[in-house]
């Protein structure tokens, strides 16, 4: 059973805005999910519904098998206090309470407030020496760490964070994100709304919203590099087939199907996305050259050396192309006597080992 099950979720406001449209996905226990998408795409609305701060217009959300719609007002408050830890971009700390009192406030619904426990939680986020400071005496990063301590105090199973580093400088962003990494390692289920690809990358999985639609559930980072290689190959093939250097991204099917990954590739400067057009950057072209080279050399190896039918060598090559090191690729090229084409006649980019062509 999934830890969180979201089914056909729709949220419409009286203004006529549909913030969420038929959104369906699952979150496994202990998983770290990033919810990404442009401003206004429904990310906060989704998070508020998951945390029982808002109710959907239609569709269902189950957390640990409980249907949130079936909870009465008191049960909803209890669910929020006991099961969920919230971290917001705006810290929502009570200005006239000290750090330790702000954390103790969150204990109130759950059990008796325990100052030692609250102090321990603050120590865990590196604020053991700031217990009696008021929010105004703390930096933004420190205030956000108080929020993380507050979110943790009741040992919630589900941690929901909305742009938790939106107001922080780079160093504090790193500190807060390392806290999230620890929480995830400790087994908490984490859902983070962010527009920052770097933070999205830290999650195990990303879901992408566009105009309230879930447009992509992306893969785990481990296979993401392979996906990036494959998408670079797609751009290469399109360029080879058409002779064009840039493509209308919205008409390029791999882009439409993998928006979030292409955004990441743009953030990593592997592709350029400008005025609706997609093109390689020099770094992307270089990486694509190597992938295509590994792929086509592998095809030749399978065909010539292992006698595998050319009709199926593509499949085999797809599996090994991600794992060949530059040294092995070079040895392969030398062994095959620097072939210029794959078994299907497509050119193999030359490497540093190849004689000048
Ligand atoms: P995001 O978090 O991705 O920026 P939101 O979930 O905040 O997006 O908003 C999604 C859409 O719903 C936006 O068009 C926003 O203007 C609209 N919206 C959000 N909250 C309300 C509200 N309380 N009343 C009316 N429209 C709202």
pLDDT digits (tens, 9 = 90+) for 298-317: 999 999 888 888 888 998 89
Per-residue pLDDT, 295: 96
Helix axes 326-335, 282-300, angle to 10 degrees: 50
Query: Does ligand 1 have an atom closer than 6 angstroms to the CB of 194?
Result: no
| Dist. CA 15 → ligand 1 center (Å) | 11
Q: Does the reported pTM lie above 0.85?
A: no
Structural domain including 254 reads 223-280
What whole-number distance in Å separates Cα of residue 127 and Cα of residue 113?
19
Asked if residue 96 belongs to a domain, the reply is yes
| Dist. CA 41 → ligand 1 center (Å) | 7
CB-CB contact of 353 with 290 (8 Å): no
Q: Name the phi and psi angles at 87, rounded to 5.
A: -130, 120
| Dist. CA 42 → ligand 1 center (Å) | 6
Rg, C-alpha atoms of the chain: 25
Asked if residue 318 belongs to a domain, the reply is no
**Within this chain, do residues 140 and 232 fall inside the same structural domain, yes or no?**
no
Query: Does ligand 1 have an atom closer than 6 angstroms to the CB of 57?
Result: no
For 33-91, how does the pLDDT look when each residue is reduced to its tens digit (9 = 90+)? 999 988 899 999 999 999 998 999 999 999 999 999 899 888 998 888 888 989 888 88
Q: What is the CATH number of the domain that holds 126?
A: 3.40.50.300
What is the position in ligand 1's atom list of the atom closest to the CA of 209?
3
Instruction: Reduce the DSSP state of residue 159 to 3 states and report it.
Output: strand
Please give the tally of structural domains in the chain. Answer: 2
**Within this chain, do residues 127 and 178 fall inside the same structural domain, yes or no?**
yes
What is the position in ligand 1's atom list of the atom closest to the CA of 44?
2
Q: Which of 209, 198, 255 is nearest to 230 (CA)?
A: 255
pLDDT bracket for residue 245 (50, 70, 90): very high
Per-residue pLDDT, 147: 92
What is the position in ligand 1's atom list of the atom closest to the CA of 193?
2
| Dist. CA 18 → ligand 1 center (Å) | 8
For 263-275, how does the pLDDT look when each residue is reduced to its tens digit (9 = 90+)? 888 888 999 999 8
CB-CB contact of 9 with 20 (8 Å): yes
Asked if residue 341 belongs to a domain, the reply is no
Query: Does ligand 1 have an atom closer than 6 angstroms to the CB of 51?
Result: no
**Within this chain, do residues 174 and 251 fall inside the same structural domain, yes or no?**
no
What whole-number distance in Å separates Cα of residue 194 and Cα of residue 185?
20
């Amino acid at each position: 059973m999934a830890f969180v099950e979201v089914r056909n979720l729709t949220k419409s406001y009286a203004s006529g805005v549909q913030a969420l449209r038929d959104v369906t996905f699952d979150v496994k226990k202990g998983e770290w999910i990033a919810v990404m998408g442009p401003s206004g795409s429904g990310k906060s609305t989704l998070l508020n519904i998951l945390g029982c701060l808002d109710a959907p217009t239609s569709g269902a959300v189950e957390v640990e098998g409980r249907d949130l719609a079936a909870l009465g007002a008191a049960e909803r408050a209890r669910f929020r206090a006991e099961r969920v830890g919230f971290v917001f971009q705006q810290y929502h700390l009570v200005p006239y309470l000290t750090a330790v009192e702000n954390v103790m406030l969150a204990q109130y619904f759950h059990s008796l407030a325990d100052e030692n426990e609250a102090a321990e939680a603050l120590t865990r986020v590196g604020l053991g020496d700031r217990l009696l400071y008021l929010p105004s005496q703390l930096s933004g990063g420190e205030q956000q760490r108080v929020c993380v301590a507050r979110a943790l105090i009741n040992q919630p199973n589900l941690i929901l964070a909305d742009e938790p580093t939106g107001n922080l400088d780079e160093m504090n962003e790193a500190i807060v994100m390392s806290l999230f990494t620890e929480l995830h390692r400790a087994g908490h289920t984490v859902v983070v709304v962010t527009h920052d690809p770097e933070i999205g990358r830290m999650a195990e999985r990303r879901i992408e919203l566009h105009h309230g639609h879930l447009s992509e559930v992306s893969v785990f980072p481990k296979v993401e590099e392979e996906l990036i290689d494959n998408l670079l190959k797609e751009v290469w093939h399109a360029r080879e087939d058409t002779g064009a250097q840039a493509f209308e991204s919205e008409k390029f099917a791999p882009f439409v199907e993998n928006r979030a990954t292409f955004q990441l590739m743009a953030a990593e400067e592997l592709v350029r996305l400008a005025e609706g057009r997609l093109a390689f950057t020099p770094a992307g072209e270089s990486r694509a050259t190597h992938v295509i080279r590994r792929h086509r050399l592998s095809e030749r190896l399978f065909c010539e050396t292992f006698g595998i039918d050319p009709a199926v060598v593509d499949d085999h090559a797809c599996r090994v192309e991600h794992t060949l090191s530059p040294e092995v690729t070079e040895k392969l090229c030398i062994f095959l006597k620097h072939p210029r084409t794959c078994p299907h006649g497509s050119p193999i980019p030359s490497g540093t080992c190849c004689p000048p062509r």
